[in-house]
Structure 1
Amino acid sequence: MLNKPFFLILSLSTLLLAGCSTTHYVNINPQPEVSNANLTNSRVIEVTARTELTSNIGSIKTGINERADIFTTNDISVSVKQSVLSGLKKMGFTPEQGVMPAANMQIEITKMSYTTEVEKLKTVATLDFELKVALAAKGQTYKANYGSQKIREYGTMPYQEAIEEDMNDLASQTVNRLLGDPNVIILLK
C-alpha cells in the first residue's frame, strides 16, 4: 500500500515529461482586402493556380515538449484562385467578360510553412506564405514573387483556431500584395 502513492506520482510525472502530441487541421482561405475601384478590363482574365506543396504545413514543438503537426484541410490552389478572382471583381474588373485572347495570370503557391524553434522555455514560430505569378497580357509577360512572413512567440501550444487565423492572415497579406501591384493592374486594364 505504501507504494501506491509513489507509483501514482511517478506515472503522472512520466506523462508530463513525455509531453502531448496532437494534430491541428486548418482551412486556408485568403480574404482580399482591396479598395473598391472602377477598374475595367477589355480582355477576359484567366486565372489559374497550382502548387506542388503537400497538405503538411509544418509542426510545432514547444519548450515544455508539446508537439503538434499542422495540415490543411482544403485545396490551397482553389482557395487562392477564388481569392484573387474575388479581389479582381471588388476592384471593378469582370474577369469572365471581354475579348480574346485572354490575359493569363498563372499563380504558383511556392511556400506555406509553420516552423518553430525552442529558446529555453519560449517557442518562436516562423510562418511563411509565398506566391510566384506570371501574367501574360497585351503582348507582354510580367513575373513577380510575393511573400509574407510572421513571427509568433509563445510558452504553450497555441490553439488550432489561432494557427488557422495566423496562416489566413499571412495568405491574405500575400494575395493583397499581388492585387495591389501597379504592374498587374496596368496589364489587366
Structure 2
Amino acid sequence: MLNKSLFLTLSLSALLLAGCSTTHYISIAPQTNVTNESLTNDRVIEVSTSTKLTNSVGSIKTGIKERADIFTTNDVTQSVKDSVLSGLRELGFTPDQGVMPAADLNIEITKMSYTTKVETLKTVATLEFELKTTLAAKGQTYKANYGSQKVKEYGTMPYQKDVEADMNDLASQTVNRLLLDPNILTLLK
C-alpha cells in the first residue's frame, strides 16, 4: 500500500512538472573585443542608441512541455551605448574631445530575439541580435546593418545563466562588427 501511495504521489508530481512554466530574466551587456590601436579623432563623437523593442526577448518551449518566457532586466539601449563608447576608447578614440560639429553615430537595436521550435524531443533555438547604424561625419552619411545569429539545440530547458550568456555573446559579436567596420573607423578619424 505504501508503494502504491508513493507511486501515485510521484506520478502526480511528474505530471505537474511536465507542463511547468517559468520566466528567465536576463541582462544584456555586450563586451567589446577590439585590439588597442592608436586611432584618433578630430571631432567629438556623439553616440546615441534607440529601440522600438520591448523587454520581451522571446520564449522557450521544449519537447517535454517546459516553457519559459525571456525578459531583459536592464536598459539594453544604455548597455549597447556604453559598450560602443568603451570600444571606441579601446581603439584610441576620445569621443568626448574634439571640435564641433560632432560625428553623430546613431544606433538602433532592431532585433533581439530567442525563438524555439520542437523537432521530436529536441528543441532548436534561434537567437538573433541586430543593429541598424547611421553615421553622419565629415559631410557624409554612412548607413549599415549588423546582425548575428546562433542556433542551439537541447533536450531540456536551458538554465537562465546559459540563455543570458548566449544572448550576450550574440550582442557582443554584433557590437564588435560595428566597431571593426572600416567605413565607420575612416569617418570617425
Give 1:10 deviation, angstroms.
5.0
Residue 86 (structure 1) aligns with: 86
Distance in 1 separating the partners of 2:124 and 2:44: 45
Give runs of ≥4 in structure 1 deviating > 2 Å.
Answer: 4-14
SS of match in other structure, 2:108: strand
Distance in 2 (alpha carbons) for counterparts of 1:103 and 1:115: 36
Percent identical pairs in the alignment equals: 72
- The residue type equivalent to 1:171 in the other structure is A
TM (norm. structure 2) is 0.95
Query: How many aligned residue pairs are there?
Result: 188
Match of 1:32, SS state, is coil
Displacement, 1:15?
1.7
Aligned mates of 2:27, 2:149 — CA distance in 1: 18
Shift of the 37–64 alpha-carbon distance from structure 1 to 2, 3 Å rule, reads same
Structure 1 residue runs of 5 or longer lacking an equivalent are none
Partner of 2:33: 33
In structure 2, runs of 5+ residues without a counterpart are none
CA 166–13 in structure 1, closer or farther in 2 if over 3 Å, else same: closer
CA distance in 1, matches of 2:11, 2:43: 71
1:1-189 aligned within 5 A: 5=5, 7-8=8-9, 10-17=11-18, 19-189=19-189
> What is the rounded CA distance, in whole Å, between the counterparts of 1:94 and 1:117 in structure 2?
45
What is the SS of the residue equivalent to 1:24?
strand
Distance 1:88 1:120 in 2: 46
Deviation per CA, 1:113-144, whole angstroms, max 9, x where unpaired? 00000000000000000000000000000000
CA distance in 2 between partners of 1:166 and 1:16 (Å): 25
CA shift, 1:16, in A, is 4.2
* CA distance in structure 1 between the partners assigned to 2:25 and 2:10 by the alignment: 34
Instruction: Please state whether the residue corresponding to 2:114 is helix, strand or coil.
Output: strand
Deviations 1:27-51 (A, max 9, x none): 0000010000000000000000000
